[in-house]
Chains A and B, each alone.
Chain A
Amino acid sequence: MTVLGRVSGNDDETFTFVTPAQPPAGEFVSFPLNDGRTCLARVVCSTPLATFPNEFLYDPFLEPNECADFIGMETTPFKLCQVESKVVGYFDEAFGEFVDPKVMPLPGTPVDFASDELVSAVNKLGEEEPGSAFVGNVLGRKTLVSLSVKDMVSQHLSVIASTGAGKSYTVGVLMEEMMSDKNQAAILVLDPHGEYRTLTELANHKDFASAKYRPEVRVWDPDQINIRIADLRFSDILAIMDDGNMSERMIYFFQGIYREVRRRARADGIDITYAALREEVLAHCDGEDDNAKTYNAILWRLAKLENPIFDDYQHMDLSQFFRPGRLTVLDLSGREEFYQQLVATVLLRRLFEARKGTVTGKYTSESTGDQYIPYPTFVVLEEAHRFAPQNGEAKSKAVLKTILAEGRKFGIGVCLISQRPAKLDQDSLSQCMTQITMRIINPVDQNQVSAAVEGLGRDLLRELPGLARGQAVISGIGLNTPTMVQVRKRKTSHGGMDIDAPIEWRNYSESGASEAQEDSQPDVSYLEEDSKDWF
């Protein structure tokens, strides 16, 4: 057995050991327990055992070690590190998880780097096993890291990172894994920036297709996304109409109109339509009295439903969106935030009702419509703070919170992705039981993550600002213990890459397009002629 160092002391939560090596924070080490088992621990931080007197460091050309040796100072402590470590536990084969040994190592106990075999126990599943998502390797090691897809889907996932830290890249890796033959997931991505379109490469990629299985990826362009009027509730329509100036009287009158139109539609067995609402309002617009003026004002506001996103008959068909082995990307780029929220609201509400109805037996394969969804689904919300903001209201927040709280029972998993966790509803974030946290620099965001993510200890939180692109701390139930991970390379192209402005500027100039643009400028010489008189 090799020895990395020896335990020097401990407190309630951590122990320290002295070593000539300098293991990085997050590295796994191990020590023997009295019963012969090996206990895993994680390095919190390494500090030098002794520091040179500052005066030895004033002259940068002077070797401080020589100064210390000159006066007979013991120089060995300057070459040693005191490493603070946190006990993870011994791996219990029967439970399949790490168990806290409830004892700290005694002073003098040997500590070593944990074996790859022990570290691989951070995974609940092997990387090739069905139900696993191989996301990368333990930082600084070759040990592979695979998340439990079952736990991610049943108890939700969050991906939090500053811009440019690799969020969408990491989600792309997850999508690849979930869409592979071993998982064949049913996923919907709400994509406000149109950066997940490259996932279409999945369908023809040799690593994902097999004789029996080929993943399907469908991208819905912004103009293909419709909200059926009948899928909107009264409060939704009111939110669309009300620009903040609707009086109580107008709301009251419109409520009457809505009820009447809905009553008639139900009686006729048809859906409520914009045309029907407009017709009913119009019927009250004649005359010169105050009521007619109010109805005219309602009519003017109701016209907002003429936005092309709304349709009397076409709608988002759940059975088209969700199917095992199918990844649906809703490209919402170019849509106003309000409409993005509205799409999410309607979609999530219908999905929740459909899954709940399917699980409880209300909807069966015999049912008409698209509400029979007999398999779990996974919804990815990019820019989640738009859909569930911490402050302020969003139409989608309530239904999202319902799904996060109750989705487990009905097989709806949600992945919340955000670069501003401080702006993301804390309750929603805390419902995500697997967390992928990448580089976060903003202290406010760090505090929010700290408050919402139980599994992420203070020691790992401290590492977040220093993580490089593609490095992540994965915590929660998807793994057996929080682990620092280097995310693997994607097999499909990444759609969210930074624009290289200098290259694009140069390419534009070299293409000759610049001159062409100059030539196409309108002739304004006559203005110059006229302007002579002005001076």
Chain B
Amino acid sequence: MALGEIVRIESQGRFVFKASDDDGVKPEIGTYVRVGDVIGLVVDKRQSVREELIPYIPTEMSGKYLPYGDDLSENYFGVASLGMLSGAGPDHEAMVSVSLKDAVDEVGQEDLMRFHTVDGRFKARYIDRLVPEVGPTPMLLATRRLQNVMGDDNAPMILAVQRYLRGLVR
């Protein structure tokens, strides 16, 4: 399901996409997205300027200070790249560039499972790498989505990881 397109590339592993204008479902933090073979995670919602300053920006200056100023609702989503999912299988450490205007889709359940299955076992090896960078909350929200695809066998492990991430939030 198409969610939007990339409007800004911040670094090798971080980009921003703008949600489609239609009234479709908007992604939430913790949503898994894909741009071609690249799998990413929505880690924040944002605007280009601090929300409290927006009323003070003159209309004629909004083109300069509000690149996304025509839409003040939270339609811009920061994404952290998690790795790649290609025909060869998942790779949680690969860093592949994405391009502006690339379409951003939500990852389906089947691909979500494939991306997290390494050597027959469930893995989300990007969590420890990304927690210092994006904080524990997006990761915690992501694990809630993983619960649905991980199955009962892995439930105790995901519970332990959620407890751990909750501890970091505190």
CB of B159, distance to nearest CB on chain A (Å):
8
List, in ascending order, chain B residues with CB within 8 A of A74's CB: 128
Q: Is A71 an interface residue (CB 8 A)?
A: yes
List, in ascending order, chain B residues with CB within 8 A of A300's CB: none
Q: Could you list some 24 contacts between A and B, CB below 8 A?
A: A54-B167, A55-B163, A55-B164, A55-B167, A59-B156, A62-B156, A62-B160, A64-B160, A67-B164, A69-B123, A70-B122, A70-B123, A70-B124, A70-B127, A70-B161, A71-B125, A71-B127, A71-B161, A71-B164, A72-B123, A72-B126, A72-B127, A73-B128, A74-B128
List, in ascending order, chain A residues with CB within 8 A of B134's CB: none
CB of B64, distance to nearest CB on chain A (Å):
42
Q: Is A95 an interface residue (CB 8 A)?
A: no
Residue of B92, B123, B127, B164 near A53 (CB, 8 A) is B164
Q: Is B129 an interface residue (CB 8 A)?
A: yes
CA of A56 to CA of B163 in the docked complex: distance in angstroms? 8
Q: Is B157 an interface residue (CB 8 A)?
A: yes
Question: In chain B, what residue has the closest Cβ to A67?
Answer: B160
CA of A189 to CA of B49 in the docked complex: distance in angstroms? 91
Q: Is A66 an interface residue (CB 8 A)?
A: yes
CA of A159 to CA of B170 in the docked complex: distance in angstroms? 54
Q: Are A58 and B163 in contact (CB under 8 A)?
A: yes
Question: In chain A, what residue has the closest Cβ to B122?
Answer: A70
Range, interface on chain B: 10 to 19
Range, interface on chain A: 10 to 19
Residue of A53, A54, A61, A73 near B156 (CB, 8 A) is A61
List, in ascending order, chain B residues with CB within 8 A of A56's CB: 160, 164
Within 8 A of B (CB), among A35-81: 53-56, 58-59, 61-62, 64, 66-67, 69-74
Name the 4 nearest CB pairs between A and B, nearest first: A72-B125, A55-B163, A71-B127, A55-B164
List, in ascending order, chain A residues with CB within 8 A of B128's CB: 71-74
Within 8 A of A (CB), among B120-163: 122-129, 156-157, 159-161, 163
Residue of B92, B160, B164, B167 near A72 (CB, 8 A) is B92
List, in ascending order, chain A residues with CB within 8 A of B160's CB: 55-56, 58-59, 62, 64, 67
Known contacts A71-B125, A72-B126, A72-B127; is A66 also within 8 Å of B157 by CB?
yes
List, in ascending order, chain B residues with CB within 8 A of A61's CB: 156
Question: In chain A, what residue has the closest Cβ to B131?
Answer: A71
Question: In chain B, what residue has the closest Cβ to A61?
Answer: B156
CA of A59 to CA of B158 in the docked complex: distance in angstroms? 12
CA of A62 to CA of B129 in the docked complex: distance in angstroms? 22
List, in ascending order, chain A residues with CB within 8 A of B157's CB: 62, 66-67, 70
List, in ascending order, chain A residues with CB within 8 A of B125's CB: 69-72
